[in-house]
Structure 1
């Protein structure tokens, strides 16, 4: 029996891997919808007490929503190994869009964290977490670009996966905080910070596992 017969064909492997972008796009749905509604609210020009800070300085909100939406949707296909191998040109071209979009999303998010008044149900711990993970996303994008320019594909994949995991935090946070809303109506303070922090860490752990598993399989 030959080695080729023991391995799945490229087509079979591709079909098996479609769960990766499909899952990521599903995870992106809630944040993308929330972002679109936020931009629609800004266009309507009807602020309330909770959204007044966005109307006072709307540009970072728009930059964040557009950047994050672009980054999360396009990035979902970058984590599909067979798709990257079959379409290397698309991978490179979309990467030139993804990096600026990711940086726009991360830096606008950092700016809003520092410049906007702290919302009623947030606290200093959550502010620190946003700065920490937002900074990690910027670091991941920069390190990923530096790594690929050096020809270090493995480091490039790991840093880009970490940046994308942070960007997808909002989707996982919706899943984590959703049950909390049912139980306590409006989680705030330490509970909200713990839930959001857990979601970011969970995403990073899963991304690290997926990338390292893929890299170890290619060495075999």
Structure 2
């Protein structure tokens, strides 16, 4: 028995999945990119300028460790490269349109994270005692998340690569929170203990950032379709 399809009605065209027919948004329609980069540049200027020259740098006592300042410079340079390249890493337009640039900036970010993070763990013992654990915890997680993201990228698991790179991004953006928290609390009409401010600056930012990133991943999981076993960029 054969099926006569001569008089059959033409099949209806498949309906695109929700959101799949939308054209990619132009770079200028993503208003968070420019403010993010401006915020990073302002932060870097605010943080780095007091440390040059060395004679005026507000460094903690480091007697018996003459390599402190050179290592601090390496830490600042590597951290600067990492935080700037991180802005390009989270730019969807650049990732889609210029994947080679995305990969190159990713390598810069990884190098900055590994070098800056390792040096940071070496010199953290000279930081004020209050907040040392928070700094060491954040820096260790920064290195770990970055390494895990690289491993998943090499395995072609770009869904998990993206997830852990966002975790790494959350950690590095903690630095901006630290400056903001201290400056806001110092201008409060009531007195806040400096020790409490310093401890809060070392913990609140990166913990809040990780929670925010995790919420965003949950919120966009069904829409993006890249967090469940995807092996595509």
What is the TM-score when the length of structure 1 is the normalising length?
A: 0.81
For structure 1, which runs of at least 5 residues remain unmatched after alignment?
A: none
Match of 1:53 in 2: 62
| 2:181/2:200 contact within 8 Å kept | no
After TM superposition, the structure 1 = structure 2 runs for residues 36-115 of structure 1, keeping only pairs within 5 Å, are 36-42=48-54, 45-46=55-56, 51-53=60-62, 56=66, 57-114=68-125
Shift of the 211–87 alpha-carbon distance from structure 1 to 2, 3 Å rule, reads: farther
Counterpart-to-counterpart distance in 1, 2:102 and 2:57: 40
| 1:154/1:215 contact within 8 Å kept | no
Counterpart-to-counterpart distance in 1, 2:200 and 2:171: 15
The structure with the largest helix share of the pair is 1
Match of 2:225 in 1: 219
Asked if 1:9 is matched to 2:23, the reply is yes
TM-fit CA distance, 1:77: 1.6
Larger RCO: 1 or 2 (CA < 8 Å, sep 6+): 1
Aligned length: 209
What is the TM-score when the length of structure 2 is the normalising length?
A: 0.77
Q: Deviations over 1:66-98 (max 9, x none)?
A: 111111111112112232111111111111211
Runs of 4+ in 1 over 4 A off after TM superposition: 1-7, 184-187, 211-215
For structure 2, which runs of at least 5 residues remain unmatched after alignment?
A: 1-12, 227-233
| 2:78/2:115 contact within 8 Å kept | yes
| 1:84/1:91 contact within 8 Å kept | yes
TM-fit CA distance, 1:208: 2.9
Match of 1:208 in 2: 214
